[in-house]
Amino acid sequence: MKEWSAIILAGGKGSRLMPLTSEVPKPLVKVTNKPMVDYSIAHLIYADIKHIILALAYKGNELKEYIQKVWTQDKLGDVELECVIQESKGTADAYRLLLNRIDSEKIVVSMADIVTNLPMKEFMQFHTEKQGISTISMKTSESHTSQYGVVLLDNNRKIYLFLEKPAPMELYLSSMAQRTDLFLHTNVINTGIYCFNKEIGEILHETNLMDFGGEVFPFLLENNYNLYGFVKNYYWLDCGNTRTYIWANWDLLRKYSWPITPNGEEYDNVFVMGIINSGQNVLIEKPTCFGENVELKNRVQIKSLTSIGTNVKIGEDTIIGKSVIWDNVNIGPGCNINESIVCNNCEIGENVVLHNAVIAPNCRISSNIQIRDKTLDLGQNI
């Protein structure tokens, strides 16, 4: 039996990320020209995990086809990667449905819709040393407590209280703990990556618990199982909405998530997947990234923190800054695009201004239009 295997949960609809997920499942949404699921798979392979199971649901066939096309055996080497389409009722239920496929003493459960440089090997070693039934990956955060939850730990990082998105009264009660070796952390995020011993499978089989954060971890604590928290300051971002999604692109371009980097070859902080067909007096700032078959007409300016996809044409005198442009997009001359997202298969006319805008796939924008602080739905013409 293997020491480690892994499950990647990749079944969510990505409703909060609409309209970016109107045509593709959330794990296939690209961050700096690479689908988020690719980051998740590479993260586990880098940690020397040899058996990875992807739990698919929403648009599962589409996601499975992509995985089988991109992650060939030549690329995987001795890693076994399998896709299972299933209908689960929560994170723990997804694990339960895969019990007959797990062939290891310890298991990592990860997510397909986050970007992180969590030190996975260190995380796994921590779990092995503590010998608890489970370890939760956590990171420090300056965000408001109610968004992420609190945890009560001792000096050995053993968890005594775990609350997700707690009410103020729960916070008050938890702060009344009398033990001097317990520390209430109100600024840590449960980053959704877990280590388990195979014993967790028996518990899930015997119970009807559906969700790890809301049900399984409180159950383990109530029944005196040893649960640990791996607390460290590393990069992690849940691309749960369009604002955090654009932040993730900026962060990768800034190398905040090193060694995770944008797709393509790097040339002095410009990442390029293919030849850029460039006109005269084109300005490309850094950091930026480009897909394949990009055409920049005369005097185009690509400002820093911009991600340009594949098969993109940009007209003369257009300026794009701090934005994400997906694939198969034509942008006319004289446009000014700032802090915006333009999805696949869009046509943008001349002298268009986009500021803090989200343009869904298959949209058509006429010339001389200004769109500020607005989202266009799938296929909208304006």
Instruction: Supply 185's token pair.
Output: 């952390």
| Helix (H), strand (E) at residue 166 | none
Radius of gyration of the chain (CA): 22
* Residue 368 to residue 91: CA distance in whole angstroms: 47
- The pLDDT tens digits for 205-253 are 999 899 998 899 999 999 999 999 999 999 999 888 999 999 999 999 9
pLDDT of 257 higher than 80: yes
Quick one: 144 exposed, middle or buried, by C-beta within 10 A (0-12, 13-18, 19+)? exposed
Residue 153 clears pLDDT 60, i.e. is over it: yes
105-136 pLDDT, tens digit per residue, is: 999 999 998 899 999 999 999 999 999 999 99
Parallel/antiparallel/unpaired status of strands 104-111 and 227-231: unpaired
Nearest to 14 by CA among 184, 200, 192, 245: 245
- Contacts for 14 with CB less than 8 Å, ≥ 6 apart: 20, 21, 25, 26, 29, 58, 113
Q: What is the pLDDT of residue 76?
A: 92
pLDDT in tens, 335-358: 999 999 999 999 999 999 999 999
User: For position 169, what pLDDT does the model report?
Assistant: 44
Please report which confidence band the pLDDT of residue 149 belongs to, taking 50, 70 and 90 as the band edges.
low
pLDDT score of 174 more than 90: no
Give the C-alpha separation, 271 to 328, whole Å: 19
- DSSP for residue 216: I
The more confident residue out of 161 and 333 is 333
Structure confidence at residue 101 (pLDDT): 94
d(CA 382, CA 369): 8
Strand 341-342: give its sheet, edge to edge.
265-266, 270-272, 288-290, 306-308, 324-325, 341-342, 358-359, 375-376
> In one letter, which amino acid is 119?
P
Nearest residue to 213 via CA among 89, 57, 92, 118: 92
Confidence label for 176 from pLDDT (cuts 50, 70 and 90): very low
Rounded to whole angstroms, the Cα distance separating 342 from 334 reads 16
Higher pLDDT, 289 or 180: 289
For the residues 97-106, what does the mean pLDDT come to? 94
Please determine, for residue 182, whether its predicted confidence score (pLDDT) is greater than 70.
no
In order of their start, the domains of the chain are 2-245+248-253 (3.90.550.10), 264-376 (2.160.10.10)
Tokens standing for residue 96: 């339960």
Task: Write out the two tokens for 277.
Answer: 């067909």
In sequence order, what are the beta bridge partners of 10?
56
